[in-house]
Structure formats: C-alpha cells, structure tokens
Amino acid sequence: MPDSKTSGPATPPRAARKPHSFTAQDVEIEDPYTWLRDPGYPEVSDPEILDHLKAENAYFESVMAPQAALTETIFQELKGRIKEDDASVPAKDGAYLYHWRFAPGAQYRTWLRRPVAGGAEEVLLDEPTLAEGQDFYRLGDLEVSPDDSLLAWADDSDGSERFVVRIKSLASGSVLDEAIPNTSGSVLWAADSRTLLYIELNENLRPFRVRAHVLGSPVAEDRVLYEEADDGFFVHIGETQSRAFLLIRAGDHVTSEIRLLPAAEPFAEAVVVAPREAGHEYDLDHAGDRLFIRTNDRHKNFRIVTAPVATPGRDHWQELIGPSDRHYLRGLDAFKDQLVVRERIDGLDQVRIRRHADGEEHYVAFPEASYAAGLGQNPEFAIDRLRLVYTSMVTPPTVFDYDLATRQLETRKVQEIPSGYDPARYVTKRLLATARDGTRVPISLVHAKDFPLDGRGALHLYGYGAYGLGMSPSFSTARLSLLDRGFAYAIAHIRGGDELGYHWYEDGKLDRRNNTFNDFADCARHLIAEGYAAEGGISISGGSAGGTLVGVAINDEPRLWRAAVAHVPFVDVLNTMLDDSLPLTPMEWPEWGDPITDKAAFELIRSYSPYDQVSAQAYPPLLITAGLNDPRVTYWEPAKWAAKLRATKTDDNLLLLKTNMGAGHGGKSGRYESLREVAEEYTFLLMAFGKV
C-alpha cells in the first residue's frame, strides 16, 4: 500500500506552536492537538482547521485515485443490488393505507397514502424535492394528524441533528408559516389535531424541553409541558399503541422516568408513573384500563407488570410475566386484544403473543435456526395480523404478516436484488469463542461455500460492544461484494451489547469495559484457530463506540490485523468524558464512568482511551472517517487521533482520514451517495489484502 509516513499530509506547524497540557485528578496530561477543536463549535470556521481537514481529504483522494475503476465497479455492484423503484408494504391506519416509494434514480423516498375504500394516491411528502440542491438531507419524524388533515415532519439539512419542524395542510398542499427550529426531530400530535408536541434542544444540543405548539399561534409562545433539569437525562416523546396517552420520557442509558398525558388533554398535569431511581429502567404501553410496564426493578432481564391507569404507581404493580435468567425481555406492545413481547432466548430473537382475555400465549415460529426478527409497522390498535420483519446472514430482509388466528406467516415482501442473489452459494454459522476469562462469546459468520479453512482466506471482523446495543445476524447486500472476492465476514457478539441478556451489557461497561476489548481479540484468535484466517490476515471495522473498539485493538495488538476501518470513532474518550459541556458527556457517564469525580474511572478510561494510548509502534493500514457536523463524536476526535498517529507510529503503512464536510454522524445521506463510501471502504480493504 502507499507510504503514509512520507506521502501523508504534514501536520500543520500550529500544533508545535501551541502545546497544550492540563491537569485532571492530579495528573498532567499533554494534548498537542487540541488546537483542532474550533472554539466556536458547533460552528467550525477556523481556516487552519478547515485547511488541515481539506488537506487530509485531498490526500485521501490522491491515494484512492489509482483505484477509481475498482471503486466504481464496486459501487455499481452495490447499486445493482438495489431495486430502483423500491416500495414498502402498505400499512393500514384508519381510513388510509400508507407507504413509501423510491422513484428510479432517486436518492430519497416519496411518502404516500391512498384511501382504503379506493381512490387516488396522494403524495404526503416528497423528500427528493426537499433535498434538491442540498449536500445532506435527513428526515426525522413524519406524523399525520389524527383527523388525517395535516402532516408534521422534521428534517435536518447539515447532519448536526438540529431538526426543523414543519406542518403541511394535506387538503391544499401548502406548508404553514409555522416552522419550529432547533428541535430533536420528534413530533407528536395530540388528539385534537391542533396541538403538536416537540422537543427543544438547549445550547449544548441536548433534548431537554417538551413544548406544545397550537396551530395558528406564534411559535415563540409555545407552552412548556416539561423541562429536564438534569444534564445527564435526555427527553423523548411518544404515545401508547391505543393513542389514549402521550408519553414524556426522561432518562439516560440505565435510568428512566415516564410521565403520562391524556392525548385529549395535552395541557393537563402529567402523571409520573414511577419516579426516577438510579438504575431503574422501565417502559410501558396501554390497553383497556391497564398499563403494561416492562421493568428491571427485580431482575436485570426485566419482568412485566400491570397497573391500573388511575393508580399507576409502583405500589399498584402486579406481576404478569416474571423475570428469568434465560428470557431477556426487550420490549412490549399492547394491542386491543393481545400483548406482544419482544425478547431473546439464548441470544435468539423471539416474539411472544399473550391474549388479554385468558392469558393464553405462544411464540411465533420462524423458519431458520439463526436469524434476527422483530415488529414491523403496526399503527393500529385492534389487529388480526401482526406485521413482522425478518432476516438472517443469508436471507434478505423479509416482511411477514402473522395471522393471529391461524398462526401462519404470510410473506408480504422479500428484498429484491435485481442483479441476482443465490443463497445456496453461501454458508452461515454461529461459533462460540472462549474468552480469556472462560466466557463463551458468540460469533456470527458468513462466507462462500468454497472459502478455504486453512488460514489462507481473507477475514473481516466487525464489532460494536456498547450501550447494550446487540448486533443482529442480519443480511447485507453490500457485504456480498466482499464475500464474492474471497472474504469471510464475522460479527463478534462481544460483551457490552445485550445479545445474551442484560448481564451481557453490564459485563462490558464501566469497570468491566476491558471485557469488550478482550472479547474482540479472543474472537479473532478463535477464528484463526479454526482456520478462517492467519494472524495478520484479519481486517476489522467499527463505528462510533465500535471505533473505540477498533482503536484499542490496533493499540494493543497491531500485528493481529491486516487493516482497520474506524467510522466516526469515539477515540478521544478521556478528554470527552472530562468535558461536561459537550452534548452527550453527562449522559454517557453511566456507560463509561465519570473521570471528573471518580479517580478510578479516570485511570481506567486513560488506560484504554485510543488517543491517549497511541505509542511508537507499527500500526496496520487504517482508514478513519469523520463528520464535520457530527454532534455525537465531534470531528476533532478522529482528526486529533489521525494527527497523533501520523506523528508517532513507526511504520510506513497507509493512514487515511476522510472528513465529510457537510454531514454528521451517519455520513452522507441518500441511498446512493452512502454506497459510494462503502465502495471506498471495500476498495481500501482490498488494497490492504493485495486484491487489487
């Protein structure tokens, strides 16, 4: 691969002119690249910073230019697997059937509805028109009013996640002159179809205040329904499946507090279901005269209780479904006649259906032994069919309707792959690696049937391992471009996710964070031992907190990897967790620890923080991505990391930093533009393996 030590962009001399150090927990910390943080953030206007990022982007383009034909070939493959005129399965909601559609060549969806009784199709929202002329466009919530006459939506035009709420008359097609800026992107109608709830962001971009806008009134006069005083708690809004109640939730990653508002009386005094208690997490739904509450008050895998709507407090909770070490209850939805529980048993997704009338219950039977499954779009309260979504490592995303009476699955849609796909060409497996502490860690694996098992093959390993977000063994059309070029693809279900239950999450956070990093390396070693790769024959990737994982992996055991890709990586962990002015920091302390007040947390974070632990050693080829407007992982984290690596590492392996100058945490928007970035990533991996 190209020589990054001699060919990479030089770090601007400003780094040497402005050394920076600070003291925390009585430790002096040097941070020579802090100048890359613009003091005017979230606005970035410092010309030296912008010039540095542009120089890195120019270097990225120059390195990748000789492989432009390969990148274009892969891009066309990825694009060829996407149905140009794709559409969703219509979902009935009252008098209308709602769906979305892509026009051929369109980057964004058009949202439509048509009367159930028959009649012309109506365009609700045309994203291509709204996105025209913009480098970035992202739609937030999209909600039709209960009387079907109005549409409220929120959109973000720069990736900063500061959404503008707008309202449209569906009769006239005109957009009302009542735009609401600086919101989280969530909108919620009250029952009167005149009152719209939304969430305001504070100066630190945290969702902290619920306001209600009454049509025709000045936005400046919108009433505050709830304001959160704790910087560590973010605010969310929702509604029960019955639509009888609006929900205001405040919480962090491990604690929640929910307030109920009658949908017909949005200005009534909200009722707190259970006051916040550190570590107590709950959510709820409603049917009849009862609330159905999922709570971890007595077991980390949760139980389900009921409570009267009139007296929802914990003194009135009655257990409906008890807790279990084996059954991890992940969520619930209360319909008119059934309670639907989403859970995992032995790490496998399950859907349990329980009848209100007599408590009879059963599980939906799915067709494969390893898969990912959950609820699809089910807007109505009274149902006779349940919409489900399903996939596996070899099965494209599938939409089922489950007949509640016959207990049969009806296939409504299987993702079409226009260029062709034969699942018989591939093999998927579930392996168990033994971590260094004896814990058995699952691995999901897919490869072509002729993949060699003698260590000669190329293997790509993906991981995340944070926030209790388990990685599903799901299908990827893009991944086929690696599989068809001789790669095996593995997902390490490491601790820090919740694949095997809530304890799996707890065993990879705070003072047990190192389990996450160790599991990843131990999964790699197991795959080597099983013949899927040789040492130094594995490429790795992860994004955001998964970027932390990648950063630790290449710091700790660089010879294990052939190449690494870190997307918007959270790598400046110590500095970020010490800065409570950043949007997410206070909310993140229950996940990573609070190094400001806790010396042990400070020392632990410092011991693994990828930026702080960069050392004078050889590193594998590395591709880093960033988003200039990213509010989650600020652009300077990957930029500082890349600069420090360039100045410190002893090898001549390639190091690339690509910053999206008009996007945020999710990279470029649009279904095709995002594929170009995947094609670039795959080209980089093929370069690393000498497959170009």
The structure tokens listed for 520 are 């990843």
Give kind and range of the element (H or E) at residue 249.
strand 245-251
Contact present, 623 and 269 (Cβ < 8 Å):
no
Q: How far apart are the first and last CA of the chain?
A: 10
β-bridge pairing 338-345 and 27-30: unpaired
3-state secondary structure of 511: helix
Query: Would you name the residues annotated as active-site residues?
Result: 544, 630, 665
Contact present, 167 and 216 (Cβ < 8 Å):
no
How far is the C-alpha of 460 from the C-alpha of 490, rounded, in Å?
6
Residue 61: CB atoms within 10 A of its CB come to 13
Amino acid identity of residue 613, one-letter, is Q
Give kind and range of the element (H or E) at residue 256.
strand 256-262
The structure tokens listed for 293 are 């509450």
Contact present, 188 and 225 (Cβ < 8 Å):
no
- Per-residue burial over 615-625, b if 16 or more Cβ lie within 10 Å, else e, is eeeebbbbbbb
- Per-residue burial over 270-303, b if 16 or more Cβ lie within 10 Å, else e, is bbebbebeeebbbbbbbbeebbbbbbbbebbbbb
- 450: CB partners within 8 A, 6+ apart: none
Write out 559-590 in H/E/C secondary structure.
HHEEEEEEECCCCCHHHHHCCCCCCCHHHHHH
Residue 555's Cβ-side half-sphere holds a number of Cα atoms within 13 Å equal to 22
